[in-house]
Amino acid sequence: MFCAFDLSAQNLIPNGDLEDTIPKNFDLKFAAEWDSPTNATPDYYTEYHNNLNNRGVPYNLNGFQQPKSGIAYVGFLVFSKPNPDFREYLQNQLVRELKKDSVYCFQVYVNLADSFTYATRNTLGVYFTDKMVDTNSVLYLGYVPNLILDSNYIEEKQSWIKMHSNYKAAGGEKYLLIGNFSNDSSIDTMALTGGSQLYYQATYLYFDDFYLGSCDSLPQDTSIGLIERKLKFKEAKVFPNPSTAQFNIEVKKADAYTLEVMDHSGRAVISDSFNGSTTQLNLAGFSEGVYFLRIISDRRAYYQKIILQD
């Protein structure tokens, strides 16, 4: 295993951070240099889409998630119980073709969308090819992926998971596809708590910060904002979570706080205030599913996903 001497620190995946955009339709944008190899349509989430078709950041139609970096990320279905063998994929034309017998390192950050009720494993694959894929199908592509990234269930709905693997090139590969290349009969799934609608009986993943290049130049995690958010979560405790109605809230530092609860579309369903370091939140009468709790004061802010279940 080696990395060829002429592989630079350059990311061979153009727009790997998904920040550059192109017009899509109406007022929507999509990530430049990326497309769908099929008629299925991955989603692009960005601050440019806030208050537009539920494709904003951090609130969107499938949950609450801050980008790993920047202001954007993408998402798509890798499994859908109501729609057998339905798949979505992303495709990218590399900066240059890969060199025979050179070893490249692939890395991406992944997160399971809040409302979805299935985790999968041994399904998320990366396929390298010398030809662009273009088909009218919306079903799974039966290619044999060169990399399988998810040996464990992808069930994390809060933090971004770093996934990476090495690839020894056959030579001449110009395109990269990522998605689930298996049919439903061979998929290993695990049921989770999430939204009650039929659509959410599926696995939907968010993706950010793709990299392919020298193994000696893997990008380091310098997302200070992400680190800060993790620390803030530790300073507030919400329990029990999930709950059938009542949540207890304990904040590390006493203060005057505004408390807001948003549904999965970012619409505020509760707005209240409290003084001190403890309070209770009662969601009796609300529909089961994932909600987003925000507690703010003049000096600090706390965010938490909460789950209401029967």
Paired with 282 in beta bridges are: 246
Higher pLDDT, 90 or 254: 90
Place of tokens 């078709």: 53
- Predicted confidence (pLDDT) at residue 228 exceeds the cutoff of 70: no
Higher pLDDT, 115 or 26: 115
pLDDT for 129: 98
Which long-range contacts (C-beta less than 8 Å, at least 24 apart) are formed by 53-61? Answer: 53/28, 54/265, 54/266, 55/28, 56/266, 59/262, 59/264, 59/265, 59/266, 59/292, 60/265, 60/266, 61/264, 61/265
Q: DSSP state, 192?
A: -
pTM of the model: 0.78
The pLDDT tens digits for 4-46 are 333 445 899 999 999 999 998 877 899 999 999 999 999 999 9
pLDDT for 264: 65
Q: Cα separation of 177 and 188, whole Å? A: 21
**Whether 161 contacts 107, CB under 8 Å:** no
Q: DSSP state, 227?
A: H
Strands 246-262 vs 236-239: parallel, antiparallel or unpaired: antiparallel
Q: Within 10 A of 278 (CB to CB), how many other CB atoms are there?
A: 11
Least confident of 35-44, 76-85, 261-270: 261-270
Mean pLDDT of 131-149: 96
* Strands (E) located in 58-174: 59-60, 63-64, 72-80, 90-93, 103-112, 118-121, 124-129, 147-148, 161-168
**Residue 302: pLDDT band by 50, 70, 90 thresholds?**
confident
pLDDT for 63: 85
Q: Cα separation of 17 and 55, whole Å? A: 17
pLDDT for 222: 52
Report H helices in the chain: 224-234
Q: Cα separation of 244 and 21, whole Å? A: 42
Mean pLDDT of 264-268: 69
Go through 36-53 and write b for each residue having 16 or more CB atoms within 10 A of its CB, e for each that does not: bbbebebbbbbebbeeee
